[in-house]
Amino acid sequence: MSALAPVDLVFTYVDGADPAHRAKRRAHGGVGEPTADGCGEGAYPQRERWYLGVGEITFSVRSVLRWLPWIRTIHVVTDAQRPPVDPELISSGRVRVVDHAEIVPDRYRPVFASTIIESCLHRIPGLSDVWLYDNDDYMHFAPVPPETFVQAGPGGGAVLSLKAYRARVRDLLRAASGVMPGFVPHANPYTMGISNAFRVLRRRARVPRGEILVPRHATQVYRKATAERLEEEFADVLHHNRELRFRSHAQVSYSTLAYTMERQWHREDRVRLWTPLAPDPDIRVYDFLHCRRPGGCERKWRAVQASDARLACLNNVPLFERDRFLETMRLKGLGEPLA
């Protein structure tokens, strides 16, 4: 790894409870009002819950510092907000807060959809040529060496390791939901975005069906040169995507475009395909979406505490489970700032 250039890591962050941010969403028709006191699955519409959190970014950043100490700079991308990151990390330059205004063109702001923001991350000033991307609910619980994501190739170039699955699965799910609506659930915006990207890549780039890739729900790795080439060759697709502002069934999954064309343009990259028959023991996803009352997810919290996975995603932790979340972070050794 010493022969390679430094590697940065990027988080995207939003505080959906921030009154200024809520006002922006409301002005563009994107606010759903709570229907209860924060308890119960129906307390907030799903669209609103996408923007809520329990302070995950504090511990996500600490987990990177502890278990990925080789990362050069952590960039936290946000919209005119101050993420709850340990202040000394920001003052030292170890963590940098990047505003949307620095990377998203004026005509596309404000923006509220991660797939749109992701398409602009390569514009972060000073970003490394190869970088990692984490959601703010990703926690690292064990050492992760740089070779997990990037290795030195012939001539000193970078070879990326892409953990992915085939996008065709999502396209088939979309098709099935259209012809068998009573048996197959309606495709959500995430599935639709992947399916839309699948069709763009088939039509525009003639990529074989089996080579269209979706990154795993885990730490992703990107190359700046690929992102810049996408800006040129898929300019109209990215423009349409960025005009949407919110998640929508019309969106195109940027990560599907990027991972697929990364592999097409850099055949030296390595792909590790995920299937239900070949799970990755280093990655665990704990989804709290159906946690409907305080104390109702104890089994899941115990599983998180016992986990030795290199990466754990704590998805959709409800507001009423914040204390349990904080206790779990303390037990995982992330309760205090790291030097």
pLDDT at position 36 = 42
Q: What is the pLDDT along the chain (339 residues), one digit of tens a residue?
A: 445 789 999 999 999 888 998 999 889 876 554 444 343 333 444 455 556 778 999 999 999 999 999 999 999 999 999 999 999 999 999 999 999 999 999 999 999 999 999 999 999 999 999 999 999 999 999 999 999 999 998 877 899 999 999 999 888 888 887 666 655 566 788 999 999 999 999 999 999 999 999 999 899 999 999 999 999 999 999 999 999 999 899 999 999 999 999 999 999 999 999 887 777 888 999 999 888 888 889 999 999 999 988 999 999 999 999 999 999 999 999 999 976
Length reported for the chain: 339
Burial class (CB in 10 A: 0-12, 13-18, 19+), 292: middle
pLDDT at position 38 = 40
Q: How many domains does the chain have?
A: 1
pLDDT at position 188 = 86
pLDDT at position 179 = 63
Is 321 contained in some domain?
A: yes
Is 213 contained in some domain?
A: yes
In three-state secondary structure terms, 205 is coil
Is 298 contained in some domain?
A: yes
pLDDT at position 1 = 42
Query: Are the C-beta atoms of residues 141 and 282 closer than 8 Å to each other?
Result: no
pLDDT at position 17 = 86
**Nearest residue to 260 via CA among 312, 217, 197, 309:** 197
Is 1 contained in some domain?
A: no
Q: Is 80 left (phi over 0), alpha (psi -120 to 50) or beta?
A: left
Provide the β-strand partners of residue 78: 99
pLDDT at position 338 = 79
**Nearest residue to 134 via CA among 211, 238, 62:** 62
Is 339 contained in some domain?
A: no
CA dihedral 76, 82, 86, 92 (to 10 degrees): 70
pLDDT at position 281 = 82
Is 157 contained in some domain?
A: yes
Is 337 contained in some domain?
A: no
Burial class (CB in 10 A: 0-12, 13-18, 19+), 145: exposed
Query: Are the C-beta atoms of residues 171 and 184 closer than 8 Å to each other?
Result: no
**The domain containing residue 184 runs over which residues?**
8-331
- Residue 56 belongs to a domain with what CATH number? 3.90.550
Is 336 contained in some domain?
A: no
